[in-house]
Amino acid sequence: MSEHPAHPALDAARLHCRSLEEALGRFRTHSLEQIADWGGRLADVLTGGGRLLAAGNGGSAAQAQHLTAELVGRYRQERRAYSALALHAETSSVTAIGNDYGFDHVYARQVTAHGRPGDILLLLSTSGRSANLIAAAVTARQGGLRVWALTGRGPNPLAEAAHEALCVDAGSTANVQETHLVAVHLLCECFDTAVSAPLARRTVLTHGSTP
């Protein structure tokens, strides 16, 4: 008799964790520089009076709203609030637009309403094939916004529709979403670091040190 009887649920949990570790390893190797770059550029836009628009479907909608909450509220340390909107959270607009124009337009029409040239639109999708997100990307580019996509494996249509994309190589939708959450937190980390950098430099100069 085996000393370690079969435990399907435990085996499944271990397999999930192993797959996630592998996905995070690939993300750490290939995507940290891009996230750091996005954080710095997002800081430039928001501190300059611009806005972040974010959208997704299902679990990706929750990730988008998580990001905007961290920017309007705070991530770690106290700082000013910045303009960030999760488009799916505008429930009356989403249902009205969906009813009158179709679900494929629920984000594109809001981009037209709220987006301004120079703003950033961040779209999250595990598949990279959501028609409403692709339509939003096209509309945003036409309106002069910068479009970033956070997706699953590339190439995919959303990544191609965006100016820039970070495509997560993971074995399951769940692992993609979990890695997206890490990406969201790292984006906030890099954003806060970039926002605080000028203050840190001013502090050094105030004390008479060489920058």
Distance from C-alpha of 199 to C-alpha of 195, rounded to nearest angstrom: 8
The tokens 């999760």 sit on which residue?
Answer: 86
Tell me the sheet residues that pair with 150.
124, 166
CB 137 within 8 A of CB 121: yes
**Does the pLDDT value for residue 141 go beyond 70?**
yes
Distance from C-alpha of 163 to C-alpha of 23, rounded to nearest angstrom: 24
Give residue-wise pLDDT tens across range 76-102. Answer: 989 999 999 999 999 999 999 999 999
Q: Peptide bond before 155: cis, by omega within 30 degrees of 0?
A: yes
| pLDDT at 201 (0 to 100) | 42
Give residue-wise pLDDT tens across range 146-194. Answer: 999 999 999 999 999 999 999 999 879 999 999 999 999 999 999 999 9
**Which of 103, 155, 160, 118 has its CA nearest to residue 137?**
160
**Which of 20, 124, 122, 12 has its CA nearest to residue 62?**
124
Give residue-wise pLDDT tens across range 99-115. Answer: 999 999 999 999 999 99
The C-alpha angle 182, 187, 193, rounded to 5 degrees, equals: 125
Check whether domain 45-195 has CATH 3.10.580.10, yes or no: no
Distance from C-alpha of 84 to C-alpha of 71, rounded to nearest angstrom: 7
Give residue-wise pLDDT tens across range 45-80. Answer: 999 999 999 999 999 999 999 999 999 999 998 999
